[in-house]
């Protein structure tokens, strides 16, 4: 597979991290296999998460093929980059083809990146996740690797202005021990175990985070730590309202 686009993108990202003096803490990079397929499952707190989740595989010399919504591939600027990096488009109306493409990549020895929450968590806790990642790992006969990210929400997240040039922001990336689900397991239970692992790892990253938000920036801290981010219940309601508004817009456009 030709890799003309991905390596320069990584090099550029690392250069930007250095220029902005982002204080990246990566722990558990040795859990990323140097060869063979794997499903890398990350939490989702920002629009930049794929960059940092991908960076976790860099020490192992691996490139991660992320599953991302089709709309990004339709973008005039983002589309060519996503295709050039061989990421996998997810079309909600044709989910089987997305799954088949991911499975083909896994069986070809690739690492496939999945944001199992599907959308950014406004509450900065781990939302409900589906069993798709577990089923994919079982079908591909590959390990499932949990990963959590904390910090990039301060740069660009849902409902807040972009601050891409903000300097000295700590970013924590924790890679957990691989899980090895197999055919015959209770996939829903394995998914619950995965959710618990991601939640524990994220809470650890949040509690160990070196910065404390200023009085006017408590929005990037979860409510359970005294921040002003929505609670999980409030965030779920906001997501539902946003989804209903989007459906209404599509219905209006169709008529």
| 180 confidence band (pLDDT: 50, 70, 90) | very high
Mean pLDDT of 207-225: 97
Residue at 1 is within a domain: no
Domain membership of residue 171 as a residue range: 6-254
Query: How does residue 254 score in pLDDT terms, banded at 50, 70 and 90?
Result: low
CATH of the domain at 127: 3.40.1130
The model's pTM = 0.94
**Band of pLDDT at residue 114, cut at 50, 70 and 90:** very high
Give domain status of residue 215, yes or no: yes
Q: Assess if residue 40 is contained within a domain.
A: yes
Tell me how far CA of residue 159 lies from CA of 172, 230, 235, in angstroms: 22, 11, 11
For residues 39 and 137, the answer to whether their CB atoms sit within 8 Å is yes
Distance set, CA 126 to CA 116, 120, 193 (Å): 9, 9, 13
Residue 204 placed within a domain: yes
Query: What's the mean per-residue pLDDT of the chain?
Result: 94
- pLDDT for the residue numbered 115: 96
Split at pLDDT 50, 70, 90, the class of 192 is very high
**Confidence band of 251 (pLDDT split at 50, 70, 90):** confident
Question: For residue 29, with 0-12 CB atoms within 10 Å meaning exposed, 13-18 middle and 19 or more buried, which class applies?
Answer: middle
Q: Does any domain span residue 184?
A: yes
Domain count, the chain: 1
């Amino acid at each position: 597979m030709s890799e003309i686009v991905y390596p320069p993108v990584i090099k550029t990202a690392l250069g930007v991290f250095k220029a902005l003096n982002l204080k990246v803490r990566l722990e558990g990079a040795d859990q990323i296999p140097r060869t063979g397929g794997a499903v890398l499952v990350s939490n989702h707190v920002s629009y930049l998460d794929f960059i940092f989740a991908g960076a976790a595989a860099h020490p192992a010399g691996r490139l991660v093929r992320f599953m991302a919504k089709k709309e990004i591939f339709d973008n005039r600027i983002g589309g060519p980059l996503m295709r050039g990096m061989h990421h996998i488009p997810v079309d909600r109306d044709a989910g089987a083809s997305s799954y088949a493409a991911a499975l083909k990549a896994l069986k070809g020895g690739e690492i496939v990146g999945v944001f199992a929450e599907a959308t950014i968590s406004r509450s900065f806790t781990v939302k409900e996740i589906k069993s798709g990642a577990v089923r994919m790992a079982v079908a591909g006969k590959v390990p499932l690797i949990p990963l959590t990210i904390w910090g990039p929400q301060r740069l660009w997240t849902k409902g807040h202005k972009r601050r891409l040039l903000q300097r000295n922001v700590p970013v924590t990336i924790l890679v957990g021990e691989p899980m090895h689900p197999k055919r015959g397991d209770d996939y829903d239970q394995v998914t619950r175990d995965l959710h618990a692992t991601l939640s524990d790892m994220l809470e650890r990253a949040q509690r160990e985070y070196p910065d404390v938000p200023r009085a006017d920036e408590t929005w990037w801290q979860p409510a359970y730590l005294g921040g002003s981010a929505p609670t999980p219940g409030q965030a779920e309601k906001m997501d539902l309202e946003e989804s209903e508004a989007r459906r209404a817009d599509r219905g209006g456009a169709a008529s």
